[in-house]
Chains A and B, each alone.
With several copies, the nearest count.
Chain A
Amino acid sequence: MAGFDKVVSSYEEAMAGLEDNMTVIAGGFGLCGIPENLIAEIKRKGTKGLTLVSNNCGVDDFGLGVLLPDRQIKKIIASYVGENAEFERQMMSGELEVELTPQGTLAEKMRAGGAGIPAFYTATGYGTPVAEGKEEREFDGRHYILEPAITGDFAIVKAWKADRYGNLVFRKTARNFNPMAATAGKITVVEVEEIVEPGELDPDQIHTPGIYVNRLIQGSFEKRIEQRTVREK
């Protein structure tokens, strides 16, 4: 195994090089498919002044929410936030800058960032507060706004399985923002439930090719459920 082996041996190594004031793009939707241990490592490191790009910001004691008490987040770009009290307090007091972005636009901005597309037009947000300060333009009689791409110094991603080359497979709706996040980081760090040897994953069934992945680590996950909803059998 030579140059394509992306596996690192510790979370410290996985997040090495993360510095204050960097931008971090995180996969996950709510608490589903979040890179739990990479987030915990950022908390442990105490990196400050971060701009976070993530659909949500976790809850008080889990997910990205754990970065709030020590004021590690300067700004968050998200579509839905405020599932936790400390977040609301920091937002209301102005300690935390929040840039609300429509969910689909956020996903597309990450994809564009990874795909070398600097900006795209979308009808989403036209005529709303999201359009403020953005170029508006008509195509075929419909109104659109121009949305710039997003890239990050780091992307932190949770996948289900990977081979050592960094080819990734996601599981069920834990996929969500993870594949786009993986493409948009200068350094993309992925934690997975299982690492297999190259050749074990079917090439037709790889969700994220290893070219996007810089570092890979196997972790164990709590996988906390936010809205536990069951039916009677």
Chain B
Amino acid sequence: MALSREQLAQRVAQELQDGYYVNLGIGIPTLVANYVPKGMEVMLQSENGLLGMGEFPTEAELDADLINAGKQTVTMATGASIFDSAESFAMIRGGHVDLTVLGAFEVDVNGNIASYMIPGKLIKGMGGAMDLVAGADNIIVTMTHASKHGVSKLLSNCTLPLTGKGCIKKVLTDLAFIEIKEGKFHLLERAPGVSVEEIAKLTEGELVIPDNVPEMQF
């Protein structure tokens, strides 16, 4: 079975470490915050200028001056700090964020990522994604392994305009957890009940399959 959005978030959350500063992109990455392991503390960075993002506000707490990078109203966690956009991206570009999780349309065997633009269709802009993929050393891309029509999104070469070049090392799809190194995809884990063959069939770029590919544990 392909992973649900919640399971994707849960699996990413297993990569967290106590004391991590984490930037979570819009969509599935945002859900990761719901699965931080008990007894562990992470601090969420929101690139519009907030370190220590808290839950959504109650009606009573609602504050138009306090939003996240997805423009949603949020609250501040204990020990939060506020800064301007230049400082926020100094933090990101300077490699101070421990883990960045974001979505993508395509990734390829050279660690390229396309996530912001479909020519002629979707041209809203890259927002902070280009800075995030260029600045972070530790990035997890979360995405579906293939389109609804079975077209692979794990490619030899990205076909869409790139968000970043050679910067992605880990991809979690609804089918598999994959590492990118030496110009190849390396299959690390498979979703529960998903066969190695199924993953191989839906992976266009070269895929290295070890003898033993464990199922993800939840």
Are chains A and B touching in the complex at the 8 Å CB cutoff?
yes
Q: Does A134 make an interface contact (CB < 8 A)?
A: no
Q: Does B27 make an interface contact (CB < 8 A)?
A: no
The answer to whether residues A104 and B85 also contact, given A32-B71, A173-B67 and a CB cut-off of 8 A, is yes
Q: Does B96 make an interface contact (CB < 8 A)?
A: yes
CB contact between B85 and one of A122, A160, A176 (< 8 Å): that residue: A176
Interface residues of A, count at CB 8 A = 80
Q: 8 Å CB contacts to B: which residues of A92-131?
A: 98, 100, 102-108, 110-111, 113-117, 122-130
Residue in A closest to B110 when the chains form the complex, CB atoms: A127
Q: Does A78 make an interface contact (CB < 8 A)?
A: yes
Enumerate chain B residues within 8 angstroms of A111, measured Cβ to Cβ. Answer: 86, 90
Report how many A-B pairs have Cβ atoms within 8 Å: 251
Would you call A79 and B125 a contact (CB within 8 A)? yes
Bound-complex Cα distance A149 to B129 (A) = 20
Interface residues of B, count at CB 8 A = 76
Q: 8 Å CB contacts to A: which residues of B58-88?
A: 58-60, 62-68, 70-74, 76, 78-88
Would you call A3 and B18 a contact (CB within 8 A)? yes
CB contact between B89 and one of A107, A160, A163, A228 (< 8 Å): that residue: A107
Would you call B58 and A230 a contact (CB within 8 A)? yes
CB contact between B65 and one of A33, A110, A167 (< 8 Å): that residue: A33
The answer to whether residues A203 and B82 also contact, given A115-B93, A173-B49, A230-B59 and a CB cut-off of 8 A, is yes
Q: In the complex, what's the smallest C-beta–C-beta distance from B204 to chain A, in angstroms? A: 20
Enumerate chain B residues within 8 angstroms of A160, measured Cβ to Cβ. Answer: 65
Q: Does B205 make an interface contact (CB < 8 A)?
A: no
Would you call A79 and B127 a contact (CB within 8 A)? yes
Bound-complex Cα distance A164 to B20 (A) = 15
Q: Does A44 make an interface contact (CB < 8 A)?
A: no
Q: In the complex, what's the smallest C-beta–C-beta distance from A57 to chain B, in angstroms? A: 10
Would you call A104 and B128 a contact (CB within 8 A)? yes
Enumerate chain B residues within 8 angstroms of A233, measured Cβ to Cβ. Answer: 58-60
Q: In the complex, what's the smallest C-beta–C-beta distance from B133 to chain A, in angstroms? A: 8
Question: Of B157-165, B169-177, B195-203, B207-215, which binds chain A?
Answer: B157-165
Q: Does B151 make an interface contact (CB < 8 A)?
A: no
Q: Does B148 make an interface contact (CB < 8 A)?
A: no
CB contact between B51 and one of A2, A163, A211 (< 8 Å): that residue: A211
Residue in A closest to B122 when the chains form the complex, CB atoms: A82
Q: Does B126 make an interface contact (CB < 8 A)?
A: yes
Would you call B162 and A128 a contact (CB within 8 A)? yes
CB contact between A80 and one of B55, B65, B124 (< 8 Å): that residue: B124
Bound-complex Cα distance A25 to B206 (A) = 45
Bound-complex Cα distance A125 to B131 (A) = 7
Would you call B56 and A231 a contact (CB within 8 A)? yes
Q: Does B144 make an interface contact (CB < 8 A)?
A: no
Enumerate chain A residues within 8 angstroms of B96, measured Cβ to Cβ. Answer: 114, 183, 211-212
Bound-complex Cα distance A172 to B80 (A) = 10
Bound-complex Cα distance A178 to B65 (A) = 13
CB contact between A173 and one of B66, B78, B90, B161 (< 8 Å): that residue: B66
Q: Does A22 make an interface contact (CB < 8 A)?
A: no
Q: Does B104 make an interface contact (CB < 8 A)?
A: no
Would you call B85 and A198 a contact (CB within 8 A)? no
Would you call A229 and B74 a contact (CB within 8 A)? yes
Q: Does B135 make an interface contact (CB < 8 A)?
A: yes
Bound-complex Cα distance A113 to B82 (A) = 21
A residues at B contact (CB < 8 Å): 2-4, 29-33, 55, 78-83, 91, 98, 100, 102-108, 110-111, 113-117, 122-130, 143, 160, 163-165, 167, 170-180, 183, 198-199, 203-204, 206-207, 209-212, 223-233
**Closest 10 A/B residue pairs (Cβ):** A3-B19, A127-B165, A104-B89, A198-B79, A116-B93, A104-B131, A115-B90, A3-B18, A107-B85, A223-B64
Between A and B, 18 residue pairs with Cβ closer than 8 Å are: A98-B123, A103-B85, A103-B127, A108-B90, A116-B135, A124-B93, A127-B166, A128-B162, A171-B65, A173-B68, A178-B84, A180-B84, A206-B83, A209-B51, A225-B67, A227-B67, A229-B74, A231-B57
Known: A80-B127, A102-B127. 12 other contacts (CB 8 A): A4-B19, A32-B48, A102-B131, A128-B161, A129-B162, A167-B79, A183-B96, A209-B87, A225-B67, A225-B73, A231-B58, A233-B60
